[in-house]
Structure formats: structure tokens, C-alpha cells
Amino acid sequence: MRILEEYIALHYPVQITEDPCEGGYVVSFPDLPGCLTCGETLEEAMANAEDARRCWLEVAVEQGYDIQEPGKWDSPEQFKLRIPKSLHEQLIEGASKAGMSLSRYCVNLLSKGSMDYKSTEG
């Protein structure tokens, strides 16, 4: 595992989405599950994103999480999952509120759950 400064020096790709409901922009890091922020202007959102990335990495290093190297999303795997209609509707609503695609939102939830599970294994 790298030290914090090495992770901070890496160039993680960002995903920028305009927020149609609230206005402004939502910025997320696909390789850092759950790391997202927003801002009224693109400049503000990007400044907030750098702060969010640094904080996310600090917590991940402190907690001993496995931190993904940048760029592992180049060829994502796919699988089909049948879920109840009510759960699908909840996921769509959550993705909309988070300003993300449904796929990205589900990946973030699964990744977070995976990290929570790993922390309770040992």
C-alpha cells in the first residue's frame, strides 16, 4: 500500500455532471467510490473536488482500505441482476439525487458495501 502523499500525487479521472435540479455541477471520481462533491460554478466544483479527493484518500489510508489505482474502470465487467421494481425505483431516485447515472450510483453503493464488509472481516 502506498503512503498518503503517493496517492495524492496520482491523477484520478473525474466525472463532471451538470445538476439539472439544483443547478451547478457535481464532480465524482469513478476510481474512488463515494468520493463526490458539487459547486455552483465549474471552478468551485473542481476546487471542492480536489479537497474531497484529498479527504477521501486520507480517510481511506487511515482506515486501511484498499485504494484503487487510477484507470481501473477502462473495461468494466457487466452482470445482470434481477431486483424488485420498488428497489429499482429507489435506486433511480438515489442516483438522481446524487447527480449520477444509475450504473455509477450502484457501483458506488456496492463498493461502499464491499469496504464496510472488509472492515468487519478481521
Residues 87-120: pLDDT tens digits? 888 988 988 888 777 777 887 788 777 656 555 5
pLDDT of 105 reads 82
- List own/partner pairs for 78-82 with CB under 8 A and 24 or more apart: none
Averaged pLDDT, 35-60: 93
Give the separation between CA 11 and CA 28, rounded to whole angstroms: 13
Q: Decide if pLDDT at 73 tops 90.
A: no
pLDDT mean across residues, the chain: 83
Residue 110: predicted pLDDT: 81
Return phi, psi of residue 19, to 5°: -90, 105
pTM for the full predicted model = 0.57
